A = this chain, B = another copy of it.
Amino acid sequence: MPTKTYLEAIRDGIREEMQRDERVMILGEDVGAKGGVFGVTDGLQKEFGEWRVLDSPLAESCIVGVAIGAALNGMRPIAEIQFQDFILPAVDQIVSEAAKFRYRSNNDWNVPMVVRAPFGGGVHGALYHSQSIEAIFCHIPGLRVVVPSTPYDAKGMIVAALRDPDPVMYFEHKRAYRAVKGEVPDGEYTVPLDRAAVVREGADIAVFTYGMMVHTVLNAAERLVPDGFECEVVDLRALRPLDHDAIVASARKCGKVLIVQEANLAVSVSSEVAAIIAQDCFEHLDAPVMRLGGPEIPAMPFSPPLEQFYLVTPDKVETSLRELAAY
C-alpha cells in the first residue's frame, strides 16, 4: 500500500469520488487556483473545472447556504471553510438549516452536504487559526461530526461523508496535514462515520481522544510500558453521534479512564464522554474519570511560550496517565 500524508489522503478521497460521481463539487474560499490555503484541493479545479471547484466569495454563511441549496437540487457539495475558527458566520445555516431539514420536513427533504474545515493548533496560528470548536456542533442533533486521525481514515471517511445523505461536519487537524503519514489503499473504500476505533489495546487505562491528540496519546502510552501499564487508546473518530458502545466497552474493561482533547474542557466532547462513563460504567470504575485538554482561555495564543503552554503534549498526557496508574 502506498504511504501518503493525511492531506494527500483527503485529496485522494475527494478526487476519486469526484471522478466517480459528477454531483460532487467543492465551494469555498481559495479552493480553485490556489488549491486552498493548505493545498488540500490542489489541482482539482484544473481536473474538474471552475464550476465543480468554485472559488466562493468571502462569506461563510453564503458558502454553506449555497451548498445546502445545491444539495437540495441534486448535488453533493463540499462546503470548505478555510479555518474552523471562521465557521461561526455559518453556524446559523448549519445549525438552524442543514441540521433541521430532514426533521422539520418529516423526512421530505434532506441535505447531503459535507462541511470541511481544518482545526487545531501548534502551528503559530494564534487565536484565530488554532481553535478547536467542534463541541458547538457536537451538541446539535441532525449533524454528524467526524474527525479522522490517520490518512487511512481520512480518505475512507471523506468518501463515506460524501455518500451520506445527511450533513456531515468533517474536521481535519491542520498539524496532521503533513506531519501524519500512513498507508492508504488506492481505490475505493469507506470508513463508517459512527464507529470509534481501538488504536491500541490495553487493560489498565482507557484513553479516549481524537484528532492529532491520538498521536500524542499513543506516544505517551508507550512511555508507561516499561512500568507495566498498558493503555487502551480509543480514537473516537465520530464525535456526533458518539460510539456509545465502544466507549462503554473500553471504560469497563480498564476501570480507569483518561479523556484527552486539544479543545478546552468545559461543555465539550470530553464532558460528554465522561458523562456517559459516569452513568453507564459506574460499577466498573476504579478511579475518577480524568480529563486533559486546553486551558479555559478564549483561544491558543501566538507567542511560542504561550502556545506551548496551551498545548496538550505527550509529557502532560504521561503525567495524567501516571497519576491514574498510581490511583
Is residue A149 within 8 Å, beta carbon to beta carbon, of the partner chain? no
Is residue A198 within 8 Å, beta carbon to beta carbon, of the partner chain? no
Is residue A291 within 8 Å, beta carbon to beta carbon, of the partner chain? yes
Contact between B266 and A267, CB atoms less than 8 A apart: no
Contact between A289 and B275, CB atoms less than 8 A apart: yes
Is residue A268 within 8 Å, beta carbon to beta carbon, of the partner chain? yes
Chain A contact residues: helix, strand, loop or mixed = helix
In A282-301, which residues have CB < 8 Å from any B CB?
282-283, 285, 287-291, 296-299
Residues of B within 8 A of A141 (CB): 264, 266, 296-298
Q: Which residue, of A100, A265, A288, A298, has the highest number of chain B Cβ atoms within 10 A?
A: A298
Residues of B within 8 A of A240 (CB): 266-267
Residues of B within 8 A of A264 (CB): 139, 141
Is residue A113 within 8 Å, beta carbon to beta carbon, of the partner chain? no
Contact between A266 and B272, CB atoms less than 8 A apart: yes
Contact between B88 and A138, CB atoms less than 8 A apart: no
Closest to A279 in B: B288
Q: Could you mark each residue 95-107 of chain A with 1 if its beta carbon is under 8 Å from any beta carbon of chain B, else 0?
A: 1100110011000
Residues of B within 8 A of A280 (CB): 288
* Band of interface residues on A: 35 or more
C-alpha gap A269/B241 in the complex (Å): 17
8 Å CB contact of A266 from B103, B128, B139, B288: B139
C-alpha gap A299/B97 in the complex (Å): 12
C-alpha gap A279/B258 in the complex (Å): 10
In A238-268, which residues have CB < 8 Å from any B CB?
240-242, 264-268
Contact between A275 and B279, CB atoms less than 8 A apart: no
Contact between A100 and B127, CB atoms less than 8 A apart: yes
Q: Top 7 nearest A-B pairs by Cβ distance?
A: A274-B275, A278-B278, A88-B92, A282-B288, A271-B271, A278-B289, A138-B267
The 11 sampled A-B contact pairs (Cβ below 8 Å) are A103-B127, A140-B298, A141-B266, A141-B296, A141-B298, A242-B266, A265-B272, A265-B275, A267-B267, A267-B272, A279-B291
Q: Which residues on A are within 8 Å of B, measured CB to CB?
A: 61, 85, 88-89, 91-92, 95-96, 99-100, 103-104, 127-128, 133, 135-136, 138-142, 240-242, 264-272, 274-275, 277-280, 282-283, 285, 287-291, 296-299
